C-alpha cells in the first residue's frame, strides 16, 4: 500500500530520487537530508504505515529490523556502534508520517539521559531554569 501524498512513499517507489544505501523487495534505506550525525540513515518499509504503532504487520517490522545489520555494515558503523531512533507521534516530534527507523552513528553520542530533552524533561529545572 502506498499513500500518493507521502514523501517517503515517493522515495520508496523512486518517484523522487535519493541517495539509496540499501534496498530489497520490502525495505529501502537512504541518507537523511538533515543529518544529525556523520552517519544518519533512514530505514523504511516500502508499504505505507503512519508510524510503528499503526498496526504494522510483524513481517514488515521484521523486514525493517532485519535490514539494520546490513545497513550498519554498508555504512561502516557495525563495529563501533550506532543508535536507532523511532520517533512516533506528536510528543516525539515525528515529522514524516511514514514509519521509519533512524540509524545514527559515526561518532560517540551521549546516553539519552545526558541529553537536553527540552522543557518537559525530568532534568528541565537544571537545563531550563526559566521554563
What are the residues binding ligand DGP (CB under 6 A)? 7, 18, 30-34, 42, 87, 93-96
Query: What end-to-end distance do the CA atoms of the chain give, in Å?
Result: 43
Q: What is the DSSP letter of 75?
A: H
For ligand DGP, the closer of residues 60 and 96 by Cβ is 96
Choice among 40, 63, 98, 100 that is catalytic: 100
Residues listed for the chain = 131
**Least spacing, CB of residue 103 vs ligand DGP, in Å:** 11
Catalytic (active site) residue 100: yes
Give the DSSP letter of residue 1: -
Closer CB to ligand DGP, 2 or 94, in the complex: 94
The answer to whether the beta carbons of residues 70 and 5 sit under 8 Å apart is no
> Known catalytic residues?
100
Amino acid at each position: 500500500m502506498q499513500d500518493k501524498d507521502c514523501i517517503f512513499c515517493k522515495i520508496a517507489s523512486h518517484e523522487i530520487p535519493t541517495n539509496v544505501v540499501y534496498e530489497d523487495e520490502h525495505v529501502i534505506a537512504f541518507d537523511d537530508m538533515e543529518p544529525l550525525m556523520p552517519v544518519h540513515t533512514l530505514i523504511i518499509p516500502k508499504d505505507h504505515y503512519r508510524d510503528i504503532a499503526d498496526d504494522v504487520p510483524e513481517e514488515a517490522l521484521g523486514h525493517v529490523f532485519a535490514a539494520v545489520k546490513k545497513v550498519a555494515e554498508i555504512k561502516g558503523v557495525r563495529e563501533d556502534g550506532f543508535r536507532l531512533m523511532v520517533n512516533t507521534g506528536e510528543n516525539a516530534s515525528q515529522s514524516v508520517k511514514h514509519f521509519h527507523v533512524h540509524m545514527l552513528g559515526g561518532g560517540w553520542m551521549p546516553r539519552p539521559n545526558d541529553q537536553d530533552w527540552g522543557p518537559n524533561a525530568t532534568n528541565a529545572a537544571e537545563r531550563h531554569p526559566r521554563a
